[in-house]
Amino acid sequence: MRVMTVEDVRRMLLAVAERIVASQNLLCAADRAIGDGDHGLGMRRGFTAAAERLEGDGFDDAFVPFRSVGDCLISTMGGASGVLFGVLFRGDVEAESSHTLSLDELTRHFERSLAEVCRRGRAQTGDKTLVDALEPAVRSLRQSADSGEVGLASALRAAASAARSGAEATKGYVARFGKARTLGERALGFVDPGALSTAIVFEAMADWAEDHDGQGRRRDPATSSTDA
């Protein structure tokens, strides 16, 4: 798969929403360990609304499903992650427009997301936030795009692995933002809930892309990161 149609993007994001909703308990448990325990609730609320929006009227621009999901998260979730996951999906207000989505366009989109997340949240890599998963994922996308040889599905898979490693790495960090900040060293050993969500988002995108990629391997359902 070299480009995604508008419909591909819509279906992929529906799959993401479904995966996040199914991960509610997992995300709440992660947030209970070093936050206030509500991360899964907010994400479920936001992505339930997003799924409804995606089920709704047709889209004629491949960036619009992303923006719709983002706006939906921003206006329904509340909490830190409402805005942050909102801009993660929305990218920037000054967005591109295109009927299909190439890897390069997708990469530019997430680069704008990353910049916006960092601008608003003021977190950097190593601060134990979702940036720790998003930043390596975006870097990986950029490398795949620059190589010019990688398909969308493989690029998303690589980005998902990078996001997952980044999320895992947060176990070794103390938090500088969010509710875990005051925990100090007591946050060590726990994964950041937002980084975990971010990894799940990229994994769900990679899974969908592989499932709908002629050349892609069928994904093994056992690697699904839900807790249903």
Partner 1 sequence: MTKFINDADRVAAETVEGFLAVHGAEFVAVPGTYGVAKRVPGDKVAVVSGGGSGHEPVWLEYIGTGFADAVCQGDVFAAPPPNAIVATARAVERGHGVLFVYGNYAGDALNFDMAAEELQAAGIPVRTVRITDDLAAAPAERADERRGIAGGFFTSRIAGSAAEAGLDLEAVYAVAARANAATRSIGVASAGGTIPGGHEPTFTLPDGQMEIGLGMHGEPGVRRGPMLTADEAADQMMAYLVDDHPVDAGERVCVLVNGLGATTRAELYIIARRVRHNLDARGLHVHDFHLGNYATSQEMHGFSISVLHLDAQLQRYYDMPARASFFIGGQAAPAEVVRA
Ligand X SMILES: Nc1ncnc2c1ncn2[C@@H]1O[C@H](COP(=O)(O)OP(=O)(O)O)[C@@H](O)[C@H]1O
- Residues forming contacts to partner 1 in the complex (CB under 8 A) are 32, 36-38, 41-42, 45, 74-84, 120-121, 177-179, 181-183, 186
Q: Is 39 a residue that touches ligand X (CB under 6 A)?
A: yes
Q: Given the complex with Mg ion, which of 39 and 67 has the nearer CB atom?
A: 39
Which listed residue (84, 150, 159, 206) binds ligand X by CB under 6 A?
Answer: 84
Taking alpha carbons only, the member of 206, 212, 216 closest to residue 224 is 206
Which listed residue (8, 12, 38, 167) binds ligand X by CB under 6 A?
Answer: 38
Number of residues that bind ligand X (CB under 6 A): 23
Q: Given the complex with partner 1, which of 3 and 183 has the nearer CB atom?
A: 183
- Dihedral angle sign, alpha carbons of residues 168, 173, 175, 177: negative
Which listed residue (70, 193, 205, 216) binds ligand X by CB under 6 A?
Answer: 193
Q: How many CB atoms lie within 10 A of CB 163?
A: 30
Q: Measured between alpha carbons, how far is 123 from 175 in angstroms, rounded to an integer?
A: 10
Q: Given the complex with ligand X, which of 10 and 45 has the nearer CB atom?
A: 45
Check if the beta carbon of residue 207 is closer than 8 Å to that of residue 178.
no
Check if the beta carbon of residue 170 is closer than 8 Å to that of residue 183.
no
Q: Shortest distance, CB of residue 114 to partner 1, whole angstroms?
A: 16
**b/e sequence 98-111, b meaning 16+ C-beta within 10 Å:** eeebebebbbbbbb
Name the one residue in this structure whose structure tokens are 């279906």: 11
Q: Strand, helix or coil at 148?
A: coil
Q: Strand, helix or coil at 59?
A: coil
Q: How many CB atoms lie within 10 A of CB 33?
A: 17
Q: Measured between alpha carbons, how far is 218 from 224 in angstroms, rounded to an integer?
A: 13
Which listed residue (69, 130, 187, 209) binds ligand X by CB under 6 A?
Answer: 130
Q: Shortest distance, CB of residue 193 to Mg ion, whole angstroms?
A: 7
Judged by CB under 6 A, which stretch of 1-9, 90-98, 106-114, 115-123 contacts ligand X?
115-123
Q: Shortest distance, CB of residue 192 to ligand X, whole angstroms?
A: 4
Q: Is 116 a residue that touches Mg ion (CB under 5 A)?
A: no
Residues 13-72 binding Mg ion (CB under 5 A) are 31, 35-36, 38-39
Q: Which residues bind ligand X (CB under 6 A)?
A: 31, 35-36, 38-39, 42, 79-81, 84, 121-123, 129-131, 177-179, 192-195
Q: Which residues bind Mg ion (CB under 5 A)?
A: 31, 35-36, 38-39, 79
